[in-house]
Amino acid sequence: MEFDKGLLIVLSGPSGVGKGTVCAALRNFMPELVYSVSATTRNKREGEREGINYFFKTKDEFEQMIEQDQLLEWAEYVDNYYGTPRGFVEATIDQGKDIILEIEVQGALQVKQKFPHGIFIFLAPPDLEELRNRIVGRGTETEETINNRMDVAKEEIELMDNYNYVVVNDQVAHACESIRAIVTAEHLKKERQIAKYRKWLREV
């Protein structure tokens, strides 16, 4: 654990569970957090903006980012690439600020290899029927993509044990409160460790 660094928080979970919705609500609820913006090769959805929702890349541009080691993690998800720009994350935590990454499960597991002291939160749906209803209700996917995303979701839920915390997204406000409680508890834990270490230094 590096005492003067910020916390790296990963919010992950299946497509449609509400990661984006919860993250958007957290921006008001926890304005002190820095939000990582991912790169992707998928097409821009209506209303999405470059550099705000994603950095939209061609496949060639994305592959160049991989080759140049510019990504902390990346994954191919339902026929598109998604990845977290490394420099921004590292600079933010080096400045002592907490950063949150909203990413899918393969990417979260890669981050865990590199940052084992990160805080990994799995956002879970109340049940699979509600998950499907949410993806369908969002109206952004074709029937085929919905089925693909549901198949991936079932595999992702199996990997829940790799996370430090599971938050059920029954209501967005509840999920935000739980995430704030987790971050507060992690800060207290870190402060206690620092105090214990300083006490030990004085005594040796």
Ligand X SMILES: Nc1ncnc2c1ncn2[C@@H]1O[C@H](COP(=O)(O)OP(=O)(O)OP(=O)(O)O)[C@@H](O)[C@H]1O
Residues that bind ligand X (CB under 6 A): 15-21, 134, 137-138, 169, 171-172
Interface with ligand LQESDW3C includes 84 (CB under 6 A)?
yes
Asked if 74 and 107 touch (Cβ cutoff 8 Å), the reply is yes
Interface with ligand LQESDW3C includes 38 (CB under 6 A)?
yes
Edge-first strand listing for the sheet containing 54-56: 54-56, 38-40, 80-85, 71-77
Selected from 73, 93, 131, 186, the binder of ligand LQESDW3C by CB under 6 A is 73
Interface with ligand LQESDW3C includes 169 (CB under 6 A)?
no
Q: Is 38 annotated as a binding residue?
A: no
At residue 156, what is the residue type?
A: E
Tokens of 166: 């599971």
> Which stretch in 75-83, 87-95, 113-121, 124-132 sits in contact with ligand LQESDW3C by CB under 6 A?
75-83
Tokens of 57: 């890349």
Residues 88-127: x where in contact with ligand LQESDW3C by CB under 6 A, - otherwise, as a string: --------------xxx-xx--------------------
> Which stretch in 70-78, 114-122, 129-137, 187-195 sits in contact with ligand LQESDW3C by CB under 6 A?
70-78
Closest residue to bound ligand X by CB: 18
Selected from 19, 26, 93, 135, the binder of ligand LQESDW3C by CB under 6 A is 19
Q: Which does 83 bind (CB under 5 to 8 A by kind): ligand X, ligand LQESDW3C, none?
A: ligand LQESDW3C
**Binding-site residues from annotation for ATP:** 13-20
